[in-house]
Structure 1
Amino acid sequence: MMQSFSRRTMLAGTGLAAAAIGTPLLGGCSGTQSAAGGLSTSRVPVGGGLILEADHKVVTQPTAGTFKAFSSTCPHAGCAVSRVTAESIECTCHGSHFSLADGARMSGPATTGLTEVPVTVAGDTLTIG
């Protein structure tokens, strides 16, 4: 006997399955992000940043209108940085913290900072790398 499902039941089930395996259903909401083709300046919070997992980069806006980009690979053990706060870029693998302004090492086992990557601003679009 075949059981029928409503559209709402199917969408809810699909969303739960995607959440369970960590796959984003809506681009830009979470998961892997990329700056391919440019990145809107509005996506990068002032006093914070955005990790571009697909590009292996992190972009920050330490002060309004100033954008910086760095490799997201921690120089300590090669883990990817995993969080950007108002205070720092963090590698939660071993606890290293890096400056939003210049990628310099602030604390942790890393002995050097993150490698800076060129970032160009044209209007409201960032080009990284």
Structure 2
Amino acid sequence: MERRSVLLCGLVAALSACGEPAPRKTGGVGTARVGDRVTPAASVPVGSGVLVDMPGNAQLLVVQPRSGEFRAFNPSCPHVGSLVNPPAGGVITCPLHGSTFDPSSGAVRKGPATSGLTEVAITLSGDDLVLA
């Protein structure tokens, strides 16, 4: 293949991959309501957690700090709103400015955030975690 053809194919591929950027996910329950399924309990590892997509382009952080204990938090960091990462090494971390939070309570451990993550009520219903 000629160099010009290779460059042209690369340009066409790059342009066809472009378009409207995906909307940025926000923290919270979105359009979900009490009783709506959040995630199977089995999908949340003990000592860690998962970011769960919710209706309305939102996400929740669901954690299992101890076996059988489930908590959910709005993953928007109270500092500037960046979405935090699931717990690793016993701490939830905001990748933007390094704030850290307790995975059992959502309480701030280290700033610049000055308040903790907002808890969202969930309960176990059968094998699923649902909004309470």
Whether the TM-score (by the shorter chain) exceeds 0.5 is yes
**Could you list the runs of 5+ residues in structure 1 that have no partner in the other structure?**
1-16, 18-33
CA RMSD, aligned part only? 2.4
1:62 matched residue in structure 2: 65
1:10 matched residue in structure 2: none
Identity of aligned residues (%): 41
1:95 matched residue in structure 2: 98
Which deviates more from structure 2 when the two are superposed, residues 115-124 or residues 36-45?
Answer: 36-45
CA–CA distance in structure 2, aligned partners of residues 117 and 61 of structure 1: 14
CA–CA distance in structure 2, aligned partners of residues 66 and 83 of structure 1: 16
**Could you list the runs of 5+ residues in structure 2 that have no partner in the other structure?**
1-16, 18-28
1:80 matched residue in structure 2: 83
Q: Does 1:114 align with 2:103?
A: no
Q: Deviations over 1:50-99 (max 9, x none)?
A: 11254321010010000000001000011111342131111110001111
CA–CA distance in structure 2, aligned partners of residues 122 and 47 of structure 1: 21
Normalising by the residue count of structure 2, what TM-score does the alignment of the two structures yield? 0.66
Aligned pairs, number:
99
> Structure 1 residues 103, 83: closer, same or farther in 2, change over 3 A?
same
Normalising by the residue count of structure 1, what TM-score does the alignment of the two structures yield? 0.67
Higher relative contact order (CA 8 A, sep 6+): 2
| Structure (1 or 2) with the larger CA radius of gyration | 2
What stretches of structure 1 move > 3 A for 4+ residues in a row?
34-38
Q: What is the identity, as a one-letter code, of the residue corresponding to 1:37?
A: R
2:46 matched residue in structure 1: 46
